[in-house]
């Protein structure tokens, strides 16, 4: 069984307004003398027993029966993921300008090839595959690469689907996905840490549009910065993570896991955080009871990003329809938090009953060597995880 979450004890008071950020931002050995013979023996032993390629993954703690391996390496700044019908994994980037295709031709769970599909793009974080076409979200526009499975090796040309999104770089990178209604959902983050943009309702929202770019409308309001959302397998309700505001101390406010059940709901930003914390600057304008409360409060400043319901058949039965969330990790909190995968269990009404670790170990003390970004359930039931710091895609599998 996994160990329980450790509560962080250090906390700056609200009055000090200590700097702490949850935004999805990118952020010695001991010498000893030895004689020549000993050095030669050590060298020979190292040659006979080289460090395994996956040695770093031995640091990752998982529940019993689970295993983590590299699916692909050298995927620079690997971020959002989308799978084509034939099994090509498309990967977007944020600090890079590229989109990649990851090829596992023999379907053995280890990719043989990383192909550069496109370059020269403006933070192409979001990727989605729909009706054979690859959709890519830059900061201010959404592109389409037609017939991508046939063209991805040939530097395909794109079509502009919609270029009417704001150009703000602050929270401008996007996660995109097609919903059960066949509309493309595109978030627009707040262009600030905390601000009110009543004259521009597209900010701090999740919007949606038709596949051809027409019919753009705001679906959910008051969403500061979501970089991950998905739909419940049965109810088709939209579940999404939201990164809490900064500058209120180490432990305030929590990130959020939210559920949208219909168009037009408001989730609080910038007036209310985590369903109950009135904002010191804008909170007097609205009551927290005016807004939809989170399904689950997540860790403060953990930068919760991609999430998926586990719908595969490889994991034990109790994992069916649990939510797996990638927590990218805090970037200037006094004690780092996140850098892990968490799992949320829901009851029959879609409400959270538990929030606990699933995979940990990318953070060692205050040193992080990896930052999970997105998760994706493969057809065989394995779980893929992208990491934009370790430039990798991991594969988590289970066997009895």
Residue 305: which domain range? 65-398
The number of distinct structural domains making up the chain is 1
Burial of 276 (0-12, 13-18, 19+ CB in 10 A): middle
pTM of the model: 0.89
Q: What's the chain's average pLDDT? A: 90
Q: Is residue 17 part of a domain?
A: no
Over residues 308-332, the mean pLDDT reads 97
Q: Is residue 307 part of a domain?
A: yes
Task: Kindly report, residue by residue over 290-304, the tens digit of the pLDDT.
Answer: 999 999 999 999 999
Residue whose C-alpha is closest to residue 141's, from 117, 114, 119, 121: 121
Q: What is the pLDDT of residue 25?
A: 59
Q: Is residue 20 part of a domain?
A: no
pLDDT(40) > 80:
no
Q: Is residue 4 part of a domain?
A: no
CA distance 13 to 95: 33
Q: What is the pLDDT of residue 332?
A: 82
Which CATH number covers residue 272?
A: 2.120.10.30
């Amino acid at each position: 069984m996994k160990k329980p979450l450790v509560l962080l004890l250090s906390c700056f008071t609200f009055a000090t307004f200590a700097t702490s950020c949850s935004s999805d931002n990118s952020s010695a050995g001991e010498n000893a003398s030895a004689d020549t013979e000993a050095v030669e023996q050590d060298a020979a032993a190292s040659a006979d027993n080289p460090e395994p390629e996956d040695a770093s993954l031995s640091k990752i703690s998982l529940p019993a029966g689970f295993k983590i391996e590299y699916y692909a390496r050298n995927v620079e700044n690997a971020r959002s993921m989308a799978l084509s019908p034939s099994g090509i994994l498309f990967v977007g980037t944020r600090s890079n300008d590229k989109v990649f295709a990851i090829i596992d031709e023999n379907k053995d769970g280890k990719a043989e090839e990383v192909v550069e599909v496109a370059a020269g793009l403006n933070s192409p974080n979001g990727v989605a595959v729909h009706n054979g076409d690859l959709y890519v979200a830059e900061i201010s526009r959404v592109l389409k690469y037609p017939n991508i499975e046939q063209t991805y090796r040939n530097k395909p040309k794109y079509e502009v689907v919609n270029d009417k999104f704001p150009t703000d770089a602050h929270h401008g990178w996007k996660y995109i996905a097609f919903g059960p209604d066949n509309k493309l959902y595109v978030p627009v983050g707040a262009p600030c840490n905390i601000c009110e943009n009543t004259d521009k309702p597209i900010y701090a929202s999740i919007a949606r549009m038709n596949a051809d770019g027409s019919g753009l409308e705001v679906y959910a309001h008051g969403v500061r910065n979501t970089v991950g959302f998905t739909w419940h397998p049965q109810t088709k309700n939209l579940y999404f993570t939201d990164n809490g505001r900064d500058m209120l101390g180490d432990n305030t406010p929590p990130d959020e896991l939210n559920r949208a059940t219909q168009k037009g709901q408001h989730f609080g930003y910038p007036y209310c955080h985590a369903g109950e914390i009135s904002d010191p600057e804008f909170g007097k304008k609205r009551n927290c009871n005016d807004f939809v409360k989170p399904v689950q409060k997540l860790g403060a400043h953990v930068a919760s990003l991609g999430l998926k319901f586990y719908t595969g058949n490889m994991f034990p039965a109790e994992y069916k329809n649990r939510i797996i969330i990638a927590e990218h990790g805090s970037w200037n909190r006094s004690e780092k938090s996140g850098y892990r995968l968490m799992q949320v269990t829901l009851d029959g009404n879609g409400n959270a009953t538990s929030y606990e670790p699933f995979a940990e170990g990318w953070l060692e003390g205050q040193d992080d060597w990896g930052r999970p970004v997105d998760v994706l359930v493969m057809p065989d039931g394995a779980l893929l995880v992208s990491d934009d710091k370790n430039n990798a895609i991991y594969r988590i599998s289970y066997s009895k």
